[in-house]
Structure 1
Amino acid sequence: MRIPYAPTEPADPTPDTQAIYDRIRERRKPRPLIPLDLALLHNPQIADGYNALLGAIRTKSTFPLALAELAICYIAVLNSATYEWTAHAPIALKAGASREALQAVLDGRVKDEAAFSEDERLVLEFTEQSTKSIKVGDDVFERLKRRFNDQQVMELTITVGGYNMVSRFLVALDVTESNGKSMEMPS
Structure 2
Amino acid sequence: MARVSYVDERSHPELAALIGQIRQERRGKLIPVYGLLLHSPDVARAWMALINAVRWSTRLDARVRELVILRVAALNGASYVIDVHRRHFTSGDGLAAAECDALCAPSVPHGVFGAADAAVIAYVDESTRRAKVSAQVFRQAREFLDERQMVELSVLVGAYNMHTRVINALEIDPE
Tell me the TM-score normalised to structure 1 length.
0.86
Preserved CA contact (<8 Å) 2:4 2:170: yes
The residue correspondences of 1:48-63 to structure 2 (distance < 5 A) are 48-63=45-60
1:126–1:9 CA distance, 2 compared to 1 (3 A): farther
Write the distance in 2 (CA, Å) between the matches of 1:101 and 1:28.
Answer: 25
Q: Indicate whether 1:80 and 2:81 are aligned.
A: no
Moved more, 89-98 or 117-126: 89-98
Task: Report the Cα offset of residue 107 of structure 1.
Answer: 2.7
Q: Indicate whether 1:99 and 2:97 are aligned.
A: yes
Aligned residues: 173
1:59–1:117 CA distance, 2 compared to 1 (3 A): same
Aligned to 1:161: 158
Structure 2 gaps, min length 5 = none
Moved over 4 A (4+): none
Q: Secondary structure at the match of 1:175?
A: coil
Q: Secondary structure at the match of 2:9?
A: coil
1:42–1:120 CA distance, 2 compared to 1 (3 A): same
Write the distance in 1 (CA, Å) between the matches of 2:96 and 2:174.
Answer: 28
1:154–1:80 CA distance, 2 compared to 1 (3 A): same
Task: Report the Cα offset of residue 42 of structure 1.
Answer: 0.6
The alignment's C-alpha RMSD in Å is 1.7
Q: What amino acid sits opposite 1:61 in the alignment? A: T
1:56-107 CA deviation, whole Å, 9 max, x = no partner? 1111111021122111111111111010111112312320012222111223
Structure 1 gaps, min length 5 = 179-187
Q: Secondary structure at the match of 2:111?
A: helix
Q: Secondary structure at the match of 1:92?
A: coil
Task: Report the Cα offset of residue 143 of structure 1.
Answer: 1.9
Q: Percent identity?
A: 28
Preserved CA contact (<8 Å) 1:9 1:21: no
The residue correspondences of 1:1-187 to structure 2 (distance < 5 A) are 1-9=2-10, 11=12, 13=14, 17-29=15-27, 31-90=28-87, 91-110=89-108, 112-176=109-173
